[in-house]
Amino acid sequence: MKTIIFLHGALGAAAQFDTLLPYLSPHYNCIVLDLPLHGINKDIVTPSIETYADYVIHCIEQNKHQSVSLFGYSMGGYIALLIAHRRPDLIEKVLTLATKFEWTHPSANKQLSMLNPTMMQEKIPSYTSYLNTLHHAIEWNEVVNNTYQIIEKLIAHPPIDHKLLSEIKIPCRLGVGDQDTMVTLQETIDAYKQLQLGSLYVLPSTPHPLEKVNPQLIAQQCINYF
């Protein structure tokens, strides 16, 4: 049975894949990871795409998975592609959804400005309550602060560019929802065109937040691809 590791997005946790797994568990060995200081993972690393990629690589090596595929949502997809570049010997395929590639665009700075715990608690209390239930390793506001650091680093020095994408030697399929207001179809197309073994998919009636994505649509993409 093939193994798929699922990587969550910024502010997210492994528990967000709970509605997806029943569709895939009969077909695959599904492993969901909480990245460090997300969900219930109390492991401490410096918050960055690079350190998270190293962490996942270490988990794969420690568990002696000879070959795995990665599904990455949003930031998880970014991490998965960096892993594919660094360790193609460990990874069979990568599938992403809603991964942002353009970090120099003004929308990236807009995202950064929204990562203010005090403002979030005032304006979107239902969402901060959700984050509080999602994370147990540290307080939700610390998860937000760590995410701020990650995005700040992404804007200053994006670890993935067109050159890096063109050097990835394993199959990668990039996906985006047709109603995603955070990730554009164009930036996803521009990224996939750089890949040696790239492909593209668009999910219908799909916004950015994972909790609003129909899990059956994701499951079908996984089954078709992996």
- Taking alpha carbons only, the member of 216, 13, 8 closest to residue 130 is 13
Backbone angles phi, psi at 91, to 5 degrees: -115, 135
- Taking alpha carbons only, the member of 120, 94, 108, 123 closest to residue 6 is 94
**What pLDDT, on the 0 to 100 scale, is given for residue 65?**
67
List domains and CATH numbers for the chain.
3-102+159-225 (3.40.50.1820)
**What pLDDT, on the 0 to 100 scale, is given for residue 57?**
96
Q: CA torsion 1→40→35→70, rounded to 10°?
A: 20
Give yes or no for a contact between 84 and 168, defined as CB atoms under 8 angstroms apart: yes
CA dist., res. 6 & res. 76, Å (int): 8
**What pLDDT, on the 0 to 100 scale, is given for residue 110?**
79
**What pLDDT, on the 0 to 100 scale, is given for residue 206?**
98
177: number of Cβ within 10 Å: 24
CA dist., res. 63 & res. 40, Å (int): 19
**What pLDDT, on the 0 to 100 scale, is given for residue 36?**
96
CA dist., res. 113 & res. 81, Å (int): 26
126: number of Cβ within 10 Å: 6
Burial class (CB in 10 A: 0-12, 13-18, 19+), 24: buried
**What pLDDT, on the 0 to 100 scale, is given for residue 14?**
97
The predicted model scores a pTM of 0.95
**Tens digits of pLDDT across the chain (226 residues):** 899 999 999 999 999 999 999 999 999 999 999 999 999 999 999 999 999 999 999 999 988 766 799 999 999 999 999 999 999 999 999 999 999 999 876 777 778 888 999 999 999 999 999 999 999 999 999 999 999 999 999 999 999 999 999 999 999 999 999 999 999 999 999 999 999 999 999 999 999 999 999 999 999 999 999 9
Give yes or no for a contact between 173 and 201, defined as CB atoms under 8 angstroms apart: yes
